[in-house]
Amino acid sequence: MSDRTGVGIVGAGAISAQYLRTLTRAPDLDVRFVADLDTERARARAAEFDVPGSGTLDALLADDAVRIVVNLTVPRAHVDVALTALAAGRHVWNEKPLALDRAGGRAVLDAARSAGLRVATAPDTVLGPGFQRALRLVRSGAIGTPLSALAQVQNPGPERWHPDPAFLYGAGAGPLLDLGPYYLTALVHLFGPVTRVQAVAARSREERVIGSGPKAGERFPVTVATQVSALYAFAGGESAQALFSFDSPLRRQRLEVTGTDASVVVGDPNMFDPVPEVHHADGSVLRTAPIRTRIGRGVGVVELARAIRAGEPERASGELAYHVLDVMLATLETATSGKVIDIHSTCERPALFPSTIREGEVD
Amino acid sequence: MSDRTGVGIVGAGAISAQYLRTLTRAPDLDVRFVADLDTERARARAAEFDVPGSGTLDALLADDAVRIVVNLTVPRAHVDVALTALAAGRHVWNEKPLALDRAGGRAVLDAARSAGLRVATAPDTVLGPGFQRALRLVRSGAIGTPLSALAQVQNPGPERWHPDPAFLYGAGAGPLLDLGPYYLTALVHLFGPVTRVQAVAARSREERVIGSGPKAGERFPVTVATQVSALYAFAGGESAQALFSFDSPLRRQRLEVTGTDASVVVGDPNMFDPVPEVHHADGSVLRTAPIRTRIGRGVGVVELARAIRAGEPERASGELAYHVLDVMLATLETATSGKVIDIHSTCERPALFPSTIREGEVD
Amino acid sequence: MSDRTGVGIVGAGAISAQYLRTLTRAPDLDVRFVADLDTERARARAAEFDVPGSGTLDALLADDAVRIVVNLTVPRAHVDVALTALAAGRHVWNEKPLALDRAGGRAVLDAARSAGLRVATAPDTVLGPGFQRALRLVRSGAIGTPLSALAQVQNPGPERWHPDPAFLYGAGAGPLLDLGPYYLTALVHLFGPVTRVQAVAARSREERVIGSGPKAGERFPVTVATQVSALYAFAGGESAQALFSFDSPLRRQRLEVTGTDASVVVGDPNMFDPVPEVHHADGSVLRTAPIRTRIGRGVGVVELARAIRAGEPERASGELAYHVLDVMLATLETATSGKVIDIHSTCERPALFPSTIREGEVD
Amino acid sequence: MSDRTGVGIVGAGAISAQYLRTLTRAPDLDVRFVADLDTERARARAAEFDVPGSGTLDALLADDAVRIVVNLTVPRAHVDVALTALAAGRHVWNEKPLALDRAGGRAVLDAARSAGLRVATAPDTVLGPGFQRALRLVRSGAIGTPLSALAQVQNPGPERWHPDPAFLYGAGAGPLLDLGPYYLTALVHLFGPVTRVQAVAARSREERVIGSGPKAGERFPVTVATQVSALYAFAGGESAQALFSFDSPLRRQRLEVTGTDASVVVGDPNMFDPVPEVHHADGSVLRTAPIRTRIGRGVGVVELARAIRAGEPERASGELAYHVLDVMLATLETATSGKVIDIHSTCERPALFPSTIREGEVD
């Protein structure tokens, strides 16, 4: 018992089920509590996963055995909940985004540093076996010296399938802020921090139409850029070209990294199991074996708990999340101003994830 | 006889064979002369294609029946040969590039305008049945309102197969200036002229190594950017993201256009017969039928001759070529300065190419 | 209540969860009971899906409101359980196979006919939106006159992932009997009954090795053919070529149908949502839109209940299942004897499945 | 001079250009004569390739320096021309087929044997770098123990593009006899001779319509099977499943070989440069490097000349061609009779082709 890390969940919405599936299976975690403003919703979710406690955030914080608060609230509540948990002496895992603006993100990191606590943030797909296999290939020299990357996420927009998509076209969202974290976090794992950005952005339509569900046919306003093309420069001299679009009938989720000897096509960094391909300069191609994994959302919490116990830095660090937030906001700013922006935030490039966190599941 | 347009070729190098194959089959052209500094080389090429005359450029210009001079000389001679032909009262077709710098290109266009003559310039792959099919799809509304394009040409560099590739890494070349014209010309056909550009560029290696042929293993210096990522804005509000690379082990030649309703994947704009695909927002995909064509390099000369006879503008106009040259040079300038550049040159968006130029061959 | 059809499940193994997910969501079914030899296992499964009753088969049959017995027992128990249910005046749905031999299958069909009851049998993937879309294309003339089909299911064998695979290489199994029903049932929907078969078969290894799980490394004997190539002729003059293999490192699941004007690539008939493609003779290809469906195993039970209420023939009929069993056994017999076999069993070609069984879910 | 083998061509039709392109570039051949019933056609072809002599077959045979007669006449003349050349003491290379029936083929082989001369026969695509790379992979153990093969050649029929296709649907042709040699010859290289065959065949239409050219729209009769499905057993216990079709709107040219450890997808055996792929049982796939080759039709003549000089057996032997003819005829016979046929002809499995025949061109 004493060697299991106590965890409490805040926010019993849809994504909490995905987290709980992972966290309740982790042998070194002890999931103790589900909190929600709607305590009945919290109770139901706790029952579904045999979690003993449920109720309010205050009640959660009253349980001294909870060491990590997993913050799955709506984005605009992320900062407040994180600050509350830190003030109560708990480490925090945040769903993405860390915050909606730089000030909020900075406040959370500062509070954690002052208190000697950790703040870590989604996405944790970069810890999955697919991306980690690609990362191992790159770091082991399989592509020679890395030079550049191409990131493309394109689709016709979530209103085709999401029953209530308006928020995905409002402040804090759009394709860049919603999907960019998966790609930019992966790029930082590959190349280290971004140093410079330039971009163009467009909003193709003033309104969009809900495509399915009970509200099908309803119109809603679009207040953010729905296609963003960006060029990033990295500290080591590498560059990346990125496209984030909700304006593309053609669907694509791609990340690829090019080096002097070969390119690695990573696949979709929003998945835990994309299968890397290595394209060699002689034209030969190796598609690596399919990945069977049960690793899913929440693996970053497991990693955070282990890092705390081991006294080592966590991989999905708040510094990294803040840097990615800063880069995304700068991307929008440069698209408006037309001026190249130098990025001043920075972070460590995370270490490879040891493949032993769950026996037989990380390839 | 009188209704066939007389044509003379200058430059009997490798590419002249490709041109002559097309031009000597065109029923409304009369190929009369092949000129070259090396008159023996001119004679052999003329004999190969049953062209009656061969010799020097002066001798070519002495044949009054030659109305169009097809300028296939090396790039640095393009401007001088074009000016000479114009001064002699002949229309000019240039292999790409129109010129190595803006001043040279402008001089040629000004001379033509003063003399009431035409200057047209490669590439003419945009007049091939593949790209024209894609263009018809776009103009007929198959993708809704066009919004943006993606252009990617990536390969590990021509030194892998070219026996003498050093010039492709020197002034006036590199992936942007060598391959960019195919993509940028196609984009201007699709969207009209470019109004703004920003870019990043890199040179991955100081030297490269010849990979095949008698000089295999020899090193040569690289003096140009070998990977260029650019963002283009167009007069109608469309945008394009482009990648030109000799640094990519992964090979790719792609042009795709996205509209509100669908995307058209054009394929390789450096070919006459890429097969367009239409990707609809519902996820369905139509791959159009394969294209069987004998149309090849030189079709632009045929079109120029017809345009002259009909008193209509030619599609591969010198204005378009100058605009593309201006855009490419600005792309390199913005990559150096880090400052967005507004493009001041412009041109007309060419009309669709009627599919009747060669019975049964343009689909 | 009175317009919902009562259903009882026999066999609470893994597949019962898949069935219950579908059946408990169907508005016109009333799932009343889960039976199993292990009544504790039955109780747990019933609780998981809020099914009121659980216990023995006898207890199930004591509930007069149960009109359809869903027989999910192990294959060797299929006939006994089906005969018991029929003797008790209940209609029967069987998991595949109907029986292990012709005599058993015939006994079940005869008992049903005598009693005026229905017997229907998996697979019901043919009722899914993917295959039905392909079937509608074929019947609407999209491929012209159907001529032939190609069926290929190839993989390296289930011992790579199945923790206890020995039974899949013993009597009543192997690639033909395990996977053949999906392909042959689909072919009968397309072309009607088979009239003639010839085949070759091979057993590549005497033993195979468990590849994962607690028994990894254990050897087990192989007593059936592990690769079967067969040629089928159909009543209407069509033909099919089929390959069923557990001997192929290359994985493939394919069904395609060729007509005079086009071919339809159906995709994997073991799935509910394969996306059909139409390949036209001019070389153009239409990939139809992706399918989003929650339809899964058990839809055939829903269809059976509706057919009973409507007094119409069910599509997954026992006659069809018997015919497919007869064809598979003949396939093995002809492979042994080297003599072409004429098939004497027959069945009706099922009607198209109306796309309204579940609002918005069948495309 | 004395170490170059003299070659004479009989038949100056379209295919002779392909042969001459290869033969006139081969450093150890001396192409001396082109013969044709139409001596003007012979003269023109000879001139095109700088071949010194042209005229009748008799004139060709009067040139003692011609050691190999390359028989490119129409199929029904193959036997007579071959016998004439053999009677005149010359070795013979035949375009496929060796003969139209077993008696003709046997007569040619017997005449050669009596005279101590060689008879070799197309196809020679199996000597190209693509298939040879696949063959080296198989023989080096890359797929483990070979078990089976899949051969599929499907298209909508040559009348879509061939201006005069009637003969391709008459005696001695159809998809089996026209395209089967490429696939069956490759299978014999892989597995050795065929021992047993069974098949079904169909003729989808009584008449077909010319699709292009001056006769477009004309109907012509079909007198052969236009789709043949066959199952072959080989001497070593391997099996193959094959489909030969002119009835398929979907186009496919595929040959793949499956072993205990992996499958090799060979690609189209009718090409010299298909790129093999290795599919491993763990799901990983290696696509080998693209092949750049100038090797084309005629390489078998080069190989024959070398084999004669070296006193070694030629790879494209007449025995192999006779065996393939026998297998194809048996395929049609079994499809008619419904009885499995045992094959009594046999041949040696050819050796790997050394990759040095043309420096740098065979990979």
CA proximity to B345, closest of B363, B317, B322: B322
Q: Could you tell me how many helices (H) and strands (E) chain A has, helices first?
A: 9, 17
Q: Which residue has the tokens 């499956």?
A: D258
Give the residue among D143, D122, D228, D129 at the shortest CA–CA distance from D191: D143
- 3-state SS assignment for residue B341: strand
Flag if B250 and A243 touch (Cβ within 8 Å): no
Per-residue pLDDT reduced to its tens digit, A45-100: 999 999 999 999 999 999 999 999 999 999 999 999 999 999 999 999 999 999 99
pLDDT at position A355 is: 57
pLDDT confidence tier of residue D361, bands split at 50, 70 and 90? very low
| C117-134: average pLDDT | 96
Q: Is B267 helix (H, G, I), strand (E, B) or coil?
A: coil
What does chain D come to in residues?
Answer: 363
| C-beta of residue A23 within 8 angstroms of C-beta of residue A70 | yes
Return the exposure string of C123-148: e unless at least 16 CB atoms fall within 10 Å of the residue's CB, then b: bbbbbbbbbbbbbebbeeebbbebbb
pLDDT at A358: 42
Structure tokens at B204: 């991955």
What is the largest distance, in Å, between two alpha-carbon atoms of chain A? Answer: 62
Query: Does pLDDT of D360 surpass 50?
Result: no
**Closest residue, chain B, to C288 (C-alpha):** B284
CA-CA distance, B202 to A237, in Å (whole number)? 9
- What are the start-end ranges of the E strands in D215-318? 219-221, 227-234, 239-245, 252-259, 262-265, 277-280, 285-287
d(CA D216, CA D199): 33
What mean pLDDT comes out for the span C157-173? 91
Which residues of C lie closer than 8 Å to B, measured between beta carbons?
280, 282-290
- Can you tell me the mean pLDDT for B1-5? 73
Please state, rounded to an integer, the average pLDDT across all residues of chain C.
93
Kindly write down the DSSP assignment for every residue of C186-234, as one continuous string.
HHHHHH--EEEEEEEEE---SEEE--SSTTTT-EEE--S-SEEEEEEEE
pLDDT tens-digit profile of D326-341? 999 999 999 998 889 9
Give chain A positions within 8 Å (CB) of B281. 156, 160, 249
Q: What is the mean pLDDT of residues C236-256?
A: 95
Average pLDDT over every residue of B165-180: 93
Q: How far apart are CA D362 and CA D129, in angstroms?
A: 5
Cα distance from D157 to chain C (closest Cα, Å)? 9
Confidence of residue C2 (pLDDT cuts 50, 70, 90): low
Give A2's pLDDT tier (boundaries 50, 70, 90).
low
pLDDT at A289 over 70: yes
- Of B131, B134, B129, B112, the closest CA to residue B121 belongs to B112
Q: Do B259 and A245 count as a contact with CB atoms less than 8 A apart?
A: no
Among B284, B289, B290, select the one facing C288 at the smallest CB separation. B284
- Preceding omega of D97 cis (within 30 degrees of 0): yes
φ and ψ at residue C59, rounded to 5 degrees: -65, -40
Name the token pair of C202: 């091979």
- Segment D67-88 shows an average pLDDT of 96
Q: What is the mean pLDDT of residues C77-85?
A: 97
User: At C356, is the pLDDT very low, low, confident or very high (cuts 50, 70, 90)?
Assistant: very low
Q: Mind telling me how many Å the CA of B63 is from chain A's nearest CA?
A: 49
What Cα–Cα distance (Å) separates residue C38 from each residue in C44, C186, D26?
10, 35, 79
One-character DSSP codes across D67-86:
EEEEE-S-GGGHHHHHHHHH
The residue count of chain C comes to 363
Phi, psi of A102 (to 5 degrees): -65, -40
The Cα of A149 is separated from the nearest Cα of chain D by a number of Å equal to 22
Average pLDDT over residues D202-210: 93
pTM of the model: 0.90
Whether pLDDT at B363 is above 80:
no
pLDDT of residue B358 exceeding 50, the answer is no
Q: Cα–Cα distances in Å, from A260 out to A263, B157, B205, B218, B300?
A: 8, 11, 9, 18, 38
Could you give the CA distance from residue B278 to residue B287 in angstroms, rounded to a whole number?
6
Instruction: Give the span between the Cα atoms of C179 and C181, in whole angstroms.
Output: 6
The rounded percent of chain C whose pLDDT value lies above 70 is 97
Question: Cβ–Cβ of D247/C160 closer than 8 Å?
Answer: no
Provide CB contacts within 8 A for D191, sequence distance 6+: D146, D149, D234, D235, D236, D238, D240, D349
Condensed to tens digits (0 to 9), the pLDDT of residues C26-40 reads 998 999 999 999 999
Determine the residue type at B109: L
Inter-residue contact B295 to B22 (CB < 8 Å):
yes
The H-assigned helical ranges of chain C are: 14-23, 39-48, 57-61, 78-87, 102-115, 129-139, 174-191, 299-310, 318-337
CA distance C316 to C350: 8
pLDDT tens for B259-294 read 999 999 999 999 999 999 999 999 999 999 999 887
DSSP for B187-235, written as a single string: HHHHH--EEEEEEEEE---SEEE--SSTTTT-EEE--S-SEEEEEEEET
Report, as an integer, the average pLDDT of A224-234.
95
Please tell me which of the candidates A280, A282, A287 has its beta carbon nearest to residue D285: A287
If pLDDT is split at 50, 70 and 90, which confidence band does C363 have?
Answer: very low
Across B324-329, average pLDDT: 98
Give ∠ CA B16-B21-B27 in degrees, rounded to 5. Answer: 125
Res B355: pLDDT: 57
**Burial degree of B336 (CB within 10 A; 0-12, 13-18, 19+):** exposed
Angle of helix B318-337 relative to helix B102-115, nearest 10 degrees, comes to 160
CB D83 within 8 A of CB D105: no
- Residues C87-113 have a mean pLDDT of 97
For A351, left (φ over 0), alpha (ψ -120 to 50), or beta?
Answer: beta
Give the helix/strand (H/E) hosting A150: strand A146-154
Q: Which amino acid is at B49?
A: F
- Tell me if the bond preceding B123 is cis, omega within 30° of 0: yes
Give the pLDDT of residue A313. 95
As a whole number of angstroms, the distance between CA B300 and CA B124 comes to: 5
**Cβ(B291)–Cβ(B64) below 8 Å:** no
Give the integer Cα–Cα distance in Å for C284 and C286: 7
Of B282, B284, B290, nearest to C286 by CB-CB distance is B284
Question: Do residues A78 and A103 touch, judged by C-beta distance below 8 A?
Answer: no
Contact across the interface for A249 and B239, Cβ inside 8 Å? no
> Mean pLDDT, to the nearest integer, of B171-190?
96
How many degrees, rounded to 5, is the angle at CA C248 between CA C243 and CA C252?
60
**Smallest CA–CA separation between A343 and chain B, in Å?**
14
Q: What is the mean pLDDT of residues C268-292?
A: 94
Contacts of residue C266 in chain D, CB cutoff 8 Å? none
- Model pLDDT, residue B362: 33
What distance in Å separates the CA atoms of residue D65 and residue A90, rounded to the nearest whole number? 96
User: Using one digit for the tens of pLDDT, what is the confidence trace for B127-158?
Assistant: 999 999 999 999 999 999 999 999 999 999 99
Distance in Å from the first CA to the final CA of chain D: 28
Of D212 and C175, the structure prediction assigns the larger pLDDT to C175
Q: Taking 60 as the threshold, does the pLDDT of residue D153 lie above it?
A: yes
Cβ contacts of C100-106, under 8 Å, gap ≥ 24: C100/C75, C100/C76, C100/C171, C100/C172, C101/C329, C102/C322, C102/C325, C102/C326, C102/C329, C104/C78, C104/C79, C105/C79, C105/C318, C105/C321, C105/C322, C105/C325, C105/C326, C106/C322
Asked if C150 and D242 count as a contact pair (C-beta separation under 8 A), the reply is no
Q: Which of B165-173's residues contact partners 24+ apart within 8 Å by CB, and which partners?
A: B165/B208, B165/B210, B165/B220, B166/B220, B166/B221, B168/B246, B169/B208, B169/B220, B169/B221, B169/B222, B169/B223, B169/B224, B169/B226, B169/B246, B170/B223, B170/B224, B171/B100, B171/B223, B171/B224, B172/B75, B172/B76, B172/B97, B172/B100, B173/B224
Is A240 a residue whose pLDDT tops 80? yes
pLDDT higher than threshold 80 for residue D112:
yes
Q: What is the mean pLDDT of residues C263-272?
A: 95
- Strands A119-121 and A227-234 come out as unpaired
Q: What is the pLDDT of residues A112-166, one digit of tens each?
A: 999 999 999 999 999 999 999 999 999 999 999 999 999 999 999 999 888 889 9
**pLDDT at residue D357 in the model:** 42
Q: What is the pLDDT of residues B75-125, one digit of tens each?
A: 999 999 999 999 999 999 999 999 999 999 999 999 999 999 999 999 999
State the pLDDT at residue B353. Answer: 87
C93 against A2, higher pLDDT: C93
Number of helices (H) and strands (E) in chain C: give both, helices first.
9, 17
**Residue D211 pLDDT more than 80?**
yes
* Interface predicted TM-score of the whole assembly (ipTM), two decimals: 0.87
Chain B residue with CA closest to C279: the answer is: B287
- Cβ-nearest to D289 among A284, A288, A289: A284
CA–CA dist D106, D113 (Å, integer): 10
State how beta strands B119-121 and B91-94 pair: parallel
Long-range pairs for D86-90: beta carbons < 8 A, 24 or more residues apart: D86/D111, D86/D112, D86/D115, D86/D117, D86/D119, D87/D111, D87/D115, D88/D61, D89/D115, D89/D117, D90/D8, D90/D61, D90/D66, D90/D117
Give pLDDT tens digits for A211-222: 988 999 999 999
Residue C360 has pLDDT above 60, yes or no: no
Could you tell me how many helices (H) and strands (E) chain D has, helices first? 9, 17
Going by C-alpha positions, the residue among A65, A62, A61, A69 that lies closest to residue A23 is A69
Taking phi over 0 as left and psi of -120 to 50 as alpha, with beta for the rest, D173 belongs to beta
Neighbours of chain C (3+ CB pairs under 8 A): B, D
Per-chain mean pLDDT for chain D:
93
Contact at CB, B250 and A231, closer than 8 angstroms: no
Q: Cα torsion at A130, A136, A138, A141 (round to 10°)?
A: -150
Q: Which of B124-128, B352-356, C119-123, D186-190 has the lowest mean pLDDT?
A: B352-356
Residue C359 CA to residue A108 CA, distance in Å, equals 47
